[in-house]
Amino acid sequence: MDIAVKVTGTVLLTLALLAGASQPFPQLSWAQHVESSSAPALQHILGEIPEGFEHRRESSHFVFVWRQAETTPEEIDAAVALAEQLFARVSVALGPEHVPPKKLIVTFEGNWRSPTGRTRYPYVDAWGRMHLFRFSGLGGGYLGKLGHEMVHAFRKEWRWNRRRPPGQAFGFVEEGFAEWMATHVEPQSLAFPYYGFPIHVVAGQWRINNEAPPLRTLMERHGELNLHCLPQSYSLRGSFFHYLHDTFGKDALLQLAYSEEELTTALFHTVFGREFDALEQAWREQTVTAFSATAQVSQLARDYREQTPIKHMYICQAGKDY
Same domain, 127 and 210: no
Eight-class DSSP state of 213: -
Same domain, 159 and 170: no
Same domain, 59 and 21: no
Q: What is the pLDDT of residue 161?
A: 84
Q: Return the number of other C-beta atoms located less than 10 Å from residue 21's C-beta.
A: 6
- Domain with 287 in it: 1-28+166-322
Same domain, 195 and 75: no
Domain boundary among 144, 163, 182: 163
CA-only gyration radius of the chain, Å: 19
Domain boundary among 163, 190, 211: 163
Q: What is the pLDDT of residue 166?
A: 65
Please check whether residue 61 is in contact with residue 41, taking contact to mean a CB–CB distance below 8 angstroms.
yes
Domain boundary among 163, 182, 207: 163
CA angle 233, 149, 31 (to 5 degrees): 95
Q: What is the pLDDT of residue 42?
A: 87
Long-range contacts at 161-169 (CB < 8 A, ≥ 24 apart): 162/260, 164/263, 166/223, 167/222, 167/223, 168/219, 168/220, 168/222, 168/223, 169/219, 169/220, 169/222, 169/263, 169/264, 169/265
* Per-residue confidence in pLDDT tens, the chain, 322 aa: 333 333 343 443 344 334 333 344 444 454 544 444 457 788 889 989 999 999 999 999 999 999 999 999 999 999 999 999 999 999 999 999 999 999 999 999 999 998 888 999 999 999 999 999 999 989 899 999 999 999 999 999 888 888 776 667 899 999 999 999 999 999 989 999 999 999 999 999 999 999 999 999 999 999 999 999 999 999 999 999 999 999 999 999 999 999 999 889 999 999 999 999 999 999 999 999 999 999 999 999 999 999 999 999 999 999 999 9
Q: What is the pLDDT of residue 206?
A: 98
Same domain, 321 and 264: yes
Same domain, 175 and 94: no
Q: What is the pLDDT of residue 111?
A: 97
Same domain, 105 and 15: no
Q: What is the pLDDT of residue 90?
A: 97
Using alpha carbons, select from 250, 198, 212 the residue that is nearest to residue 30: 250
- Using CA atoms, how far apart are residues 202 and 309, in angstroms rounded to an integer? 13
This prediction has a pTM of 0.88
Same domain, 311 and 227: yes
Same domain, 105 and 234: no
Q: What is the pLDDT of residue 26?
A: 45
User: How many distinct structural domains can be found in the chain?
Assistant: 2
Element (H, E) at 251: helix 250-257
235 phi/psi in degrees, rounded to 5: -75, -40
CATH number at residue 139: 3.40.30
Same domain, 109 and 13: no
Same domain, 176 and 314: yes
- Residue by residue, DSSP assigns 84-129 as HHHHHHHHHHH-GGGS-SSBEEEEEEEESB-TTS-B---EE-TT--
Same domain, 220 and 303: yes
Strands in 123-124's sheet, in edge-to-edge order, are: 55-58, 62-66, 104-111, 130-134, 123-124
CA atoms within 13 A on the CB side of 32: 5
Q: What is the pLDDT of residue 43?
A: 83
